[in-house]
Structure 1
Amino acid sequence: MAGRRGQIIDLVRRQGFMTIEALAQQFGVTPQTVRRDINELADEGLVQRFHGGAGLPSSTENIAYSNRQVMNLDAKRKIAAEVAASVTDHSSLCINIGTTAEEVARALLDHKGLSVLTNNLHVASLMAGNEDFHVVVAGGLVRARDRGIVGEATIDLIRQFRVDIAIVGISAIDLDGTLLDYDYREVRVAQAIVEHARKVYLAADASKIGRRAMARMGHLEQIDILFTDRPPPEELCRVMENVGTELRVADEAVGGDGGPGDAEAGELEE
C-alpha cells in the first residue's frame, strides 16, 4: 500500500496531474481504491485532490524551472502546435514567461515574418534564430532561475507597443475562471501584455486547471482562446461559455469560428 502511494506521489510530481482512471489502470486497482489513496495523501498534504484526479499540492512557490521543463512535455507540445496553427505569418506577437510559452516559440519557428516582443530570454534566443523574425526583448530584471524578465522597466516598454496576439502562460486557473500565478512581479508584466494586445491566447495544460496560487493575474473573460490538452471540468466550461472564451483542446479543437487568420497581421505598433 505504501509503495503504491509513493508511486502515485511520484507520478503526480512528474506529470503535474493524474486522473483517477489513469492511476487505476496503472496499478490494476479499482477507482475507489485510488480515491482512498488520494484522500489519504491529500490529508497529509502530499497531493491535492481535484475532481477526477490528483495534482500538485498548493504552494506559494512554483516548481523548479528544470522540473517544469519536462513536466507534461507532450501535452505542452500538442498545445504549442495548436497555438502555432492559429497564428498567421507576419503577425505581431507578445510571448511571456513560462515553459509552455517556450514550446509555442519552438512551434512558431517555421512561420514567416513574425514580429515578437518578449520578456523571456529563452523565447528571444529561440526566435532570434529565424532571420526572418523581428525580435524585441523587454528589458528589466532577469530572474536567474528561468531567464524571465520582470520589473517596472519591462512594463514600461511593453506599454509602448500594441500587438496582434498575446500568447501567455499561467501557473493556475481557478474553477471560477480566475488566473493565478506565484510571482507578483511576473503577474504585473503579464497584465501589461494582456492589456496591449488585440487578442489574447492562453496556453495551459490541464494540470494548471484547479491548481492554486497566490497572485491574481486576471480572469478568463480577458482571454479570447484557451488552448489546453484535455477538456476542462464542466464548472470551468460554464464560466468560459458565460464570458465568451473559446476553448481549443489540442488534437480536437472545439468551439467558435476562430482559427488561422483570426487576428489582423502586422508589425509591432509603438
Structure 2
Amino acid sequence: MTHASTVERRDKIVQLAISSGPTNVDELAVYFNVTSSTIRRDLARLTSEGRITRTYGGAIALVGHAEPSLSERQSEAHEQKVLIAEWARKRVLPGDTLLLDLGSSVATLASRLKNIEDLSIATVNLSVITALSGLPSGKLYCLGGQYRPLSQGFVGPLAEAAVERLTFDTAFLGTDGVSPDGEISEADLQQLRFKELVCRRARNVYVLAHGEKIGQSPVHGWARLPLPWTLVTDDSAPEDVLASIQATGVEVVVVPSTPVDDDTDR
C-alpha cells in the first residue's frame, strides 16, 4: 500500500488490528512502504488515543472499547468515587509516604489529603499534582516519564526507574476493570507494569474501583498484582464477582452507599 496520508495510514493500521493483518513494526513498514520510525510514531499516537494497545513483543491489538479520556471518566459514578475516597483517606496517617497512581478515583482521594500533616506524596497523575499544588506541609514528588494525554499522567521507563528507588507506606492505584479472577486491566500496558512495580515497593496497596468496573473487561491488557493487596469498591459491585475475587486471596472492602462511622486504624 503506497501514497496513503498519515490519517489514512493510521486508520488502516486500526483496521489491520481488527482483521489480524500485519501487526508488528517491520511488517507494517513494508506494507505501507514507509520507514520503521514512521510506523513507531503512528503506533505511539494510536496508543495514546486509545485506539490500539501494544504488546511487549511489539504487535498491536484492538482495544476492547475506545478508551475514554480522564475528563470523560471524572463524571462517572461520582458519588461512589467520593465514598471510596473518604474511606481511603482514613487509611492515611500524618507523616505517611504515599504513592498516588493514575485515575479519577485516585484524584478524588488526593483532593482530600491537604489537611493531613507531613505527607510525602509521589505521583504520576497530573490531576493529583494540581489538587495538591497548595499542600501546606509535606512533600510532593512527580515521578516523570512520557506524558499520556488520555490519562493525563506519566508512564514509561522513567516513571518505573523512579518508583524503584522509593518505598511507600501506602499506595493507592486506579484501574480500568477488575476480572472475577482478580486481575486488573489497563488500556496502556506501561500502566500495568508500573502498578506491578509499585506493589513491590509499598507496605499497603489499595486498588480503588467503583462498582461498575468490577467484573468488566473493557480492554485487553491485564495483570495479576502480587499479593497482598486490597480492592476497595462500593456496594453496587456484583456480590458473586466480589466473592470470586476474594477467593483468589485479594482482600475486598465494600464501602456502603450510606456512609457510616469508620474509625478503624490501618
Q: TM-score, normalised by structure 2?
A: 0.69
Q: From 92, 100, 104, give the equivalent of 1:95.
A: 100
- From the superposition, tell whether residues 59 and 118 of structure 1 become closer, same or farther in structure 2 (CA, over 3 Å): same
- From the superposition, tell whether residues 104 and 66 of structure 1 become closer, same or farther in structure 2 (CA, over 3 Å): same
Report the counterpart of residue 190 of structure 2 in structure 1.
185
RMSD of the alignment, in Å?
A: 2.3
Amino acid at match of 2:221: A
- From the superposition, tell whether residues 78 and 241 of structure 1 become closer, same or farther in structure 2 (CA, over 3 Å): same
2:234 is equivalent to residue 234 of structure 1: no
Report the counterpart of residue 157 of structure 2 in structure 1.
152
Q: Deviations over 1:127-185 (max 9, x none)?
A: 23112021111011111233210010110000000100010011011111111111111
CA distance in 2, matches of 1:259, 1:188: 34
Report the counterpart of residue 170 of structure 1 in structure 2.
175
Return 5+ residue gaps in structure 1 as ranges. Answer: 1-57, 263-270
Secondary structure at the aligned position of 1:107 is classed as: coil
CA distance in 2, matches of 1:172, 1:210: 7
Correspondence 1:5-84 to 2 at 5 A: 59-84=64-89
Secondary structure at the aligned position of 1:227 is classed as: strand
CA contact (8 A) 2:210 2:233 kept: yes
Report the counterpart of residue 127 of structure 2 in structure 1.
122
Amino acid at match of 1:191: E
Secondary structure at the aligned position of 1:142 is classed as: strand
CA distance in 2, matches of 1:61, 1:189: 22
Bigger radius of gyration:
2
Correspondence 1:238-257 to 2 at 5 A: 238-250=244-256
CA contact (8 A) 2:228 2:249 kept: no
Report the counterpart of residue 195 of structure 1 in structure 2.
200
Cα displacement (A) at 1:251: 5.1
CA distance in 1, matches of 2:184, 2:150: 22
Secondary structure at the aligned position of 2:206 is classed as: strand
CA distance in 1, matches of 2:257, 2:94: 22
Return 5+ residue gaps in structure 2 as ranges. Answer: 1-62
CA distance in 2, matches of 1:144, 1:59: 19
CA contact (8 A) 1:112 1:132 kept: yes
CA distance in 2, matches of 1:200, 1:250: 20
Secondary structure at the aligned position of 1:222 is classed as: coil
Amino acid at match of 2:150: R
CA distance in 2, matches of 1:89, 1:248: 25
CA distance in 2, matches of 1:98, 1:110: 21
Cα displacement (A) at 1:62: 1.8
CA distance in 2, matches of 1:117, 1:81: 20
Secondary structure at the aligned position of 1:145 is classed as: coil
- From the superposition, tell whether residues 252 and 139 of structure 1 become closer, same or farther in structure 2 (CA, over 3 Å): same
CA contact (8 A) 2:189 2:221 kept: yes
CA distance in 1, matches of 2:245, 2:259: 18
Higher RCO (C-alpha 8 Å, min separation 6): 1
Correspondence 1:192-231 to 2 at 5 A: 192-212=197-217, 213-219=219-225, 222-230=227-235, 231=237
- Between 234-243 and 190-199, report the one with greater CA deviation: 234-243
2:116 is equivalent to residue 111 of structure 1: yes
